[in-house]
Amino acid sequence: MSGNVRIVHADGVFRIEMARPEKKNALTAEMYGNMADELARADADPSVLVILISGAGGNFTAGNDLADFVGNPPQDKDAPVFRFIEGLARLQKPFVAAVEGVAVGIGTTMLLHCDLVYAGSSARFAVPFANLGLTPEAGSSLLLPLRAGHARAAEMLMLGEVFSARTALEVGIVNSLLPDGQALDHALERCLKLTTQPAASLRLTKQLMKRAQQALISETMGFEGEVFRQRLASPEAKEAFAAFFEKRKPDFSKFN
């Protein structure tokens, strides 16, 4: 394990586990960098047939560690968080996720780049970027409306409220729901099934499914990144972060 990221590579399955359970696997810049490197390594390794991502300790991830994020804000497109996001979009091999507990922010948006997602029935999702004075990332401003429709995506992205695993299933973020605690075992089973398929056929099938949108996704992610970095310096974001650390409700009224 390196920097709270655990790697298990066996039987053609390359498993990336976010392993910071005491913080609900909240992600630091170091973790983003490690995961970006591991994604690239797995995609280039001929012995890896499928990539699986999961979280330790009963949660997927609570999203960004805000203390680390404020202390190490992404300055440009080469920042670890953006390298990780770009890596997700470039993956050639099947990418599978097992989700238990909370999946907040990037914990939800990264799932839009997965080919298969399995979740525990009590898993909870949220994309609270607007609540923090920020904007969507990881291509979610494009991909979530395509999955959920504009109305549902607007409700999720603009209100930033928690939504259930059942809702995630209904809008196409998740493939199927499992009893709590069984998502990883089921995802591993599906991964092993994929390893018995012709690897080249799987890669080409994925490429063909993404081909029509690939350039648009890349363009969207680039624009999102620029806006996101600008918003980090906004008065609204500063108020939202201050309120979080002071454990109070933010007051955005003076910025309207």
Number of domains in the chain: 1
Domain range spanning residue 206?
1-180+199-256
CATH classification at residue 9: 3.90.226.10
In a domain, 191, yes or no: no
In a domain, 55, yes or no: yes
114, 93 in Cβ contact below 8 A?
no
Q: Which amino acid is at 57?
A: G
List, in order, residues 6 or more apart from 165 with CB less than 8 Å away. 99, 119, 120, 121, 122, 123, 124, 125, 174, 177
Reported as a single tens digit per residue, the pLDDT across 18-69 is: 999 999 999 999 999 999 999 999 999 999 999 999 999 999 999 999 989 8
In 45-133, the DSSP E strands lie at 50-55, 95-99, 102-104, 116-120, 124-126
Q: Is the pTM of this model over 0.85?
A: yes
In a domain, 126, yes or no: yes
- Distance from C-alpha of 29 to C-alpha of 81, rounded to nearest angstrom: 7
Reported as a single tens digit per residue, the pLDDT across 77-109 is: 889 999 999 999 999 999 999 999 999 999 999
In the chain, the DSSP E strands lie at 5-10, 13-18, 50-55, 95-99, 102-104, 116-120, 124-126, 163-164, 176-178
